[in-house]
Chains A and B, each alone.
Chain A
Amino acid sequence: MSKVLEINNVSKIYGEGDSKVTALDNASLSIEHGEVVLIVGSSGSGKSTLLNMIGLLDRPSNGKILIDGIDTTTLNDDQISSFRNKKLGFIFQFSNLLADLSVLENVLLPRQIGGTNHTAEKEARDLLKAVGLEDQMHKRANKISGGQAQRVAIARGLINKPSIVLADEPTGNLDSVTSETIVQLMKSMAKKLNQTFIIVTHDRPHFGVVDKVITIKDGKAFEGEQPSEMEVFA
């Protein structure tokens, strides 16, 4: 398998002098194409910071992030936007759809932003069918339930066939039954499309067996599950 993501000695430091906070401290990791990876850790450990770095929503203070072999730290703002559009998909905790658009339009949006649209509508419809929302396509995004919104977000995250789909607490705002559905959907889509998923979660047990778990503790990244962290979750 080829490496889809390589993070080399990435740090993120906020503030200066006495108020300096190291949110991420020399984190290094690599993820193979098609893997489902969980990032776990306690609140404030640096999980979301790491996800923001991988998602190119924020720039690291030091280190390199390579996606599909491209050093993203050298890209300018416009190139980063295009890169995010083509190579990355996003699923957020809540309110992640544009309320002014329909379900179908939300799924189509990344493709429209990218400017390539020949087969987009058919693909969007297929994806919505795959996530079980073919009958909700023309509803306004704010007229569907939280679980349905997350399924739309999954479809939107997949529309551009990105290298990585990043999910930040995708079940954080859902009840346990809906959470289970969303987790299973993401895992099945990952398997079906051979799609890399990187998921930040507090909800470790719901995800069961995954390809890799990365634990963030005090800004440092560890591959594998730390027993101490598991105790916290339990």
Chain B
Amino acid sequence: MYHIHYILDYFIIFVEYRLILAKRMLFNKKGSLIGAVLAVTIGILVIHVNFVIFQGLFDAIVRDISDYRNGDILVTDDADYIDKSDLSIVSWFERIPYVQGATPRLSSSAEMNMTKNGKLIEETRIPLVGIDPFRDIKASTVHETVSEGNYVFSRNSIVLGSNVAKDLGGAEVGDSIKVLVVDRVGEDQIRRFTVSGIAKSPGGQGFDYTAVIHIDTLRDMMGRPGDTSSFMVKLNDPSKALELKEFFLQSFPNDDFLAETIEESAEEQLAGFRSGIAMISMIGYFGMMSSAFAILTIQMMLVNGKTKEIGIMRAIGAKRKDILIIFIFQGMIIGAIGAGVGTAAGLGYTFYAKETKMSFNNSLPLEVSYNWEKIIQTALTSFALAIIASLYPSYRATKLLPVEAMRNV
């Protein structure tokens, strides 16, 4: 027991004086300390701000695509249409406890016209989506984007995306619209609808450029009774999407279903963002490298300013490694304080962005999250960079010969 105490005591004494000296030398040069800490802090803050904005934007787009269009799993078919009954597919999914909802959708395009103020306005090639009004609201939040009026509620009601409404000369709730769809045998099918609502989503990822009608009406018009383009499946726990997708495909081995998670189904739309985020992250890390150069410069100044002290310490018996450790400790102190302050500032900004529901371009609310893995990785990277940046100045300090250093004494 005595020996353990002795060894511990020896260790503390052995390390402690160098740590104390490192701390004192640093804290007595407050300007240098503040400069070095700020360099680390700013490096970390840049990465946090980048993350909040660009990752938040990316996640917001993923969220909206998932909420409005693709769900967590999107089921389609090799042939463009699924002819299995809605009920069987939806029931299959909804018996799984972590499935929030599943809904069929049928896609087409249409020509539309309406008379506004005595003037006939026609628009062609408008995306048209057929939805099941009862199931859709369980699996999607697109109905929440209807800013005026109501979502589709009857066979002859239509919801227009805000841009479609605008293109039709400012269609409003209650207006009558003629819709033309070409059926499966190439004949025009025309029906009249009443506008029940106008959809406008923040960020424009919703049905802003689309018209929405009842799925059965669209099936009738297309001559495809019982057909579906896709099933959108929303989960309570999106992390189970891959597992459920595999399970679904295994359960229907004789069908030509395609099932994709949101990452897969939205890959095309997200690929550009991914590379953009990677580039922004690179810029952040380059910023961190600049911080490391700032630390290196500041520490070189500290070493040059402590020539006499190094000489005195060497004269009274400090070894090269003692001097090395003192200055590396300084790098560690700068790194630790910088990482702490930078992370705190970054978390503060993230908290602010989350609480104020920060939005991109004043429209798309960012999906702000605390990515602890990334936060810890950033803090540790900056801490490590501060230590690495202190290696060269520390090495330079050890190269001072006592007799040279003492000339100044």
Q: Interface on A for B, CB 8 Å cutoff?
A: 52, 55, 57-58, 77-78, 81-82, 84-86, 89-90, 92-101, 105, 108-110, 112-115, 117-118, 156
Task: Please indicate which of the listed interface residues B20, B308, B316 has the most CB atoms of chain A within 10 Å of its own CB.
Answer: B316
Instruction: Indicate whether B396 reaches chain A with its CB closer than 8 angstroms.
Output: no
Which A residues are CB-close (under 8 A) to B375? none
Instruction: Indicate whether B24 reaches chain A with its CB closer than 8 angstroms.
Output: yes
Instruction: Indicate whether B13 reaches chain A with its CB closer than 8 angstroms.
Output: yes
Q: Check A57/B406 contact, CB under 8 A, given A81-B319, A95-B308, A100-B25.
A: yes
Q: Is A57 a contact partner of B409 (Cβ separation < 8 A)?
A: no
* Interfacial residues of chain B within 20-47, with CB under 8 A of chain A in the complex: 20-21, 24-25, 28
Which A residues are CB-close (under 8 A) to B406? 52, 57, 92
Smallest Cβ distance from A211 to chain B, in angstroms?
A: 25
Q: Is B316 a contact partner of A109 (Cβ separation < 8 A)?
A: yes
Q: Is B309 a contact partner of A90 (Cβ separation < 8 A)?
A: no
Instruction: Indicate whether B286 reaches chain A with its CB closer than 8 angstroms.
Output: no
What is the bound-complex CA distance between A59 and B30, given in angstroms? 38
Q: For this complex, into which size category does the number of interface residues on chain B fall?
A: 20 to 34
Instruction: Indicate whether B270 reaches chain A with its CB closer than 8 angstroms.
Output: no
Smallest Cβ distance from B17 to chain A, in angstroms?
A: 4
Q: Which single member of A77, A94, A100 contacts B309 (CB below 8 Å)?
A: A100
Q: Is B403 a contact partner of A52 (Cβ separation < 8 A)?
A: yes
Task: Please indicate which of the listed interface residues A99, A100, A110 has the most CB atoms of chain B within 10 Å of its own CB.
Answer: A100
Task: Please indicate which of the listed interface residues A89, A108, A117 has the most CB atoms of chain B within 10 Å of its own CB.
Answer: A117
Which A residues are CB-close (under 8 A) to B24? 100-101
Q: Is A109 a contact partner of B17 (Cβ separation < 8 A)?
A: yes
Chain B residue, CB-CB nearest to A89: B316
What is the bound-complex CA distance between A84 and B322, given in angstroms? 14
* Interfacial residues of chain B within 268-319, with CB under 8 A of chain A in the complex: 308-309, 312-319
Q: Is B315 a contact partner of A84 (Cβ separation < 8 A)?
A: yes
Q: Is B317 a contact partner of A100 (Cβ separation < 8 A)?
A: no
What is the bound-complex CA distance between A157 and B317, given in angstroms? 11
What is the bound-complex CA distance between A55 and B21, given in angstroms? 24
Q: Check A96/B403 contact, CB under 8 A, given A110-B316, A113-B318.
A: no
Q: Is A84 a contact partner of B317 (Cβ separation < 8 A)?
A: yes
Chain B residue, CB-CB nearest to A55: B315
Chain B, residues 328-359, CB within 8 Å of chain A (1/0): the string is 00000000000000000000000000000000
Chain B, residues 177-205, CB within 8 Å of chain A (1/0): the string is 00000000000000000000000000000
Smallest Cβ distance from A213 to chain B, in angstroms?
A: 24
What is the bound-complex CA distance between A109 and B20, given in angstroms? 11
A77-B320, A98-B312, A100-B28 given; name 6 further pairs at CB < 8 Å.
A78-B321, A82-B317, A92-B312, A108-B17, A113-B322, A117-B9
Q: Is B313 a contact partner of A113 (Cβ separation < 8 A)?
A: yes
Smallest Cβ distance from A56 to chain B, in angstroms?
A: 9
Which A residues are CB-close (under 8 A) to B315? 55, 57, 84, 90, 92
Which B residues are CB-close (under 8 A) to A77? 319-320
17 examples of A-B residue contacts, CB within 8 angstroms? A52-B403, A57-B406, A58-B403, A92-B409, A94-B409, A96-B409, A99-B28, A101-B20, A101-B24, A109-B17, A109-B313, A109-B316, A110-B316, A112-B16, A113-B316, A115-B10, A115-B13
Smallest Cβ distance from A199 to chain B, in angstroms?
A: 16
Q: Which single member of A81, A86, A95, A100 contacts B318 (CB below 8 Å)?
A: A81
Which A residues are CB-close (under 8 A) to B14? 112, 115
Smallest Cβ distance from A191 to chain B, in angstroms?
A: 24
Which A residues are CB-close (under 8 A) to B403? 52, 57-58
What is the bound-complex CA distance between A153 and B23, given in angstroms? 23
Chain A residue, CB-CB nearest to B316: A110
What is the bound-complex CA distance between A129 and B16, given in angstroms? 25
